[in-house]
Amino acid sequence: MKLPALVIDTAKIRHNTRVVSSMLGELGMRLVGVPKSVLGHPAVVKAMVEGGAAAIADSRVENLARAREGGYAGETVLLRSPAPSRVDEAVAVADVSLNSEVEVVRMLAKAARKANRTHKVVLMVDLGDLREGVPVHKAVETAKAMSSEDGVKLAGIGVNLACYGGVIPTREKMEALLKVRDDIESSLGLKLETVSGGNSANMPLVMNKEMPAGITELRIGESVLLGTEAVHRSPVPGCYPDAFTIVAEVIEVQTKPSKPEGQVGQNAFGLVVTFPDRGIRKRAICAAGRQDIDPDGLTPLEPGVQVLGASSDHLILDVQDAGDVKVGSMLRFIPAYSSLLQAATSPFVEKVVR
Ligand SMILES: *Cc1c(COP(=O)(O)O)cnc(C)c1O
């Protein structure tokens, strides 16, 4: 195995998707699988579909194209508003896209007519997280404008919380979304097929059975990939936390003081770091760095190993209390979302499918 490696256990992803999709199913919702943190890796897409994902959603057209090339033939959803310069690609790879600008939807409509397709549009409403979406008071007029374009169909509405502002999805937020649906349906005299209620940060609501009826789907990445909900990062019951592991190779083991010696200034990232003095410790360096992982998003699997930090290419560990760590040892870590994203994106990290 070439190292560092991101080891992908597709059986665990399939299992997690099965667990979460049946939780959603009990509440009348479908699971839309989001493989964007692994760049739409075809093996992950396949595992999600086998586990019950009803559609595959990603924020990037490249990732949806990769899923398609990997043999996925089901429904595709583009999570980030298509860029004006890329509406033709958006229509080619995505059956549905999430939108908040009428201007973009007009371009999508034109591209869809040219391609002889009907592209579905979900209008995003901002309920306080301050990323994408129109304010609630503009939802009806925007829906009206979007629904009047030939080539696109207004499929429904959606919301995204807990991504930028950290606003927690609550029953009240979901009810506010359903109120927007009611206003649009009564003002425009149409039925919306989709009410897309959010992401893995909605899982606490699901686990506590607090999702109101009427939400038709959740778009889920983290909970099926890492087995955690995205509000407190607690485990989702029944899901594996180790569908992904990162393996890195030890290139140095030395006994050193735990505090730097000499005049201390900024490190490679412009930060002045302080170190607790724990005396002389056995330390190891792995051949992996910030180009491959996020040191704050790594949980060592070997007992006694502690992550101290990383520069671009060196991962620094305290191994004083660990077993026999030596040059050439392979150490394993469970990645958090940040490290998964980093490892999946790094050209230096080998992707190994189990
Ligand atoms: C990334 C994303 C998701 C999935 O988020 P997870 O926390 O991985 O479940 C859902 N919806 C949108 C709009 C996204 O950008």
The protein residue whose alpha carbon is closest to atom 7 in ligand 1 is: 200
Which class for 230: exposed (0-12), middle (13-18), buried (19 or more C-beta within 10 A)? buried
pLDDT of residue 81: 97
- Candidates 34, 90, 39, 32; CA nearest to 63 is 39
Pocket of ligand 1 (CB under 6 A): 34, 36, 59, 79, 98, 160, 199-200, 219-222, 230
pLDDT of residue 93: 98
Average pLDDT over residues 47-68: 98
Cβ atoms within 10 Å of 204's Cβ, excluding its own: 18
CATH of domain 244-353: 2.40.37.10
Q: Cα(107)–Cα(149) distance, rounded to whole angstroms?
A: 10
Annotated catalytic residues are 36
The protein residue whose alpha carbon is closest to atom 3 in ligand 1 is: 199
Q: Cα(10)–Cα(48) distance, rounded to whole angstroms?
A: 9
Distance of CA 124 to the CA centre of its chain: 18
CATH topology (fold) of 10-225 = TIM Barrel (3.20.20)
Q: Which amino acid is located at 202 in the chain?
A: N
- Candidates 340, 296, 352, 353; CA nearest to 39 is 340
pLDDT of residue 269: 87
| pLDDT tens digits along 50-59 | 999 999 999 9
Residue located via tokens 């009611």: 182
Average pLDDT over residues 33-60: 98
> For the chain, where do the domains classified as CATH 2.40.37.10 start and end?
244-353
- Candidates 187, 194, 186, 106; CA nearest to 150 is 106
**Mean pLDDT score of the chain:** 97
Cβ atoms of 120 and 152 closer than 8 Å: yes
Q: Cα(70)–Cα(250) distance, rounded to whole angstroms?
A: 34
Q: How far is the CA of 328 from the centre of ligand 1 (A)?
A: 37
Q: Which amino acid is located at 271 in the chain?
A: L
pLDDT of residue 106: 98
Q: Which amino acid is located at 201 in the chain?
A: A
The fraction of the chain above a pLDDT of 70, given in percent, is 100
* H/E stretch holding 65: helix 61-69
Residue located via tokens 């790594």: 298
- Candidates 197, 208, 196, 203; CA nearest to 222 is 203
Cβ atoms of 316 and 322 closer than 8 Å: no
Could you give phi then psi for residue 224, rounded to 5 degrees? -90, -25
| pLDDT tens digits along 143-181 | 999 999 999 999 999 999 999 999 999 999 999 999 999
Reading the block at residue 112, the tokens are 């869809």
Cβ atoms of 235 and 93 closer than 8 Å: no
Distance of CA 91 to the CA centre of its chain: 22
pLDDT of residue 188: 98
| pLDDT tens digits along 276-315 | 899 999 999 999 999 999 999 999 999 999 999 999 999 9
Q: Which atom of ligand 1 is nearest to the CA of 98?
A: 13
pLDDT of residue 271: 87
Q: Cα(59)–Cα(53) distance, rounded to whole angstroms?
A: 17
Q: How far is the CA of 232 from the centre of ligand 1 (A)?
A: 16
DSSP 214: T
pLDDT of residue 250: 98
Of 63, 127, 199, the residue with max ligand 1 atoms within 8 A of its CB, to mutate for a pocket test, comes to 199
Average pLDDT over residues 103-126: 98
Q: Cα(47)–Cα(37) distance, rounded to whole angstroms?
A: 15
Q: Which atom of ligand 1 is nearest to the CA of 220?
A: 9
> For the chain, where do the domains classified as CATH 3.20.20.10 start and end?
10-225
> Is pLDDT at 274 greater than 90 in this prediction?
no
Which class for 168: exposed (0-12), middle (13-18), buried (19 or more C-beta within 10 A)? middle
Average pLDDT over residues 319-332: 97
Q: How far is the CA of 228 from the centre of ligand 1 (A)?
A: 13
Strand partners, 82: none
| pLDDT tens digits along 190-229 | 999 999 999 999 999 999 999 999 999 999 999 999 999 9
Cβ atoms within 10 Å of 264's Cβ, excluding its own: 12
| pLDDT tens digits along 1-27 | 899 999 999 999 999 999 999 999 999
| pLDDT tens digits along 240-268 | 999 999 999 999 999 999 989 899 899 88
Cβ atoms of 66 and 81 closer than 8 Å: no
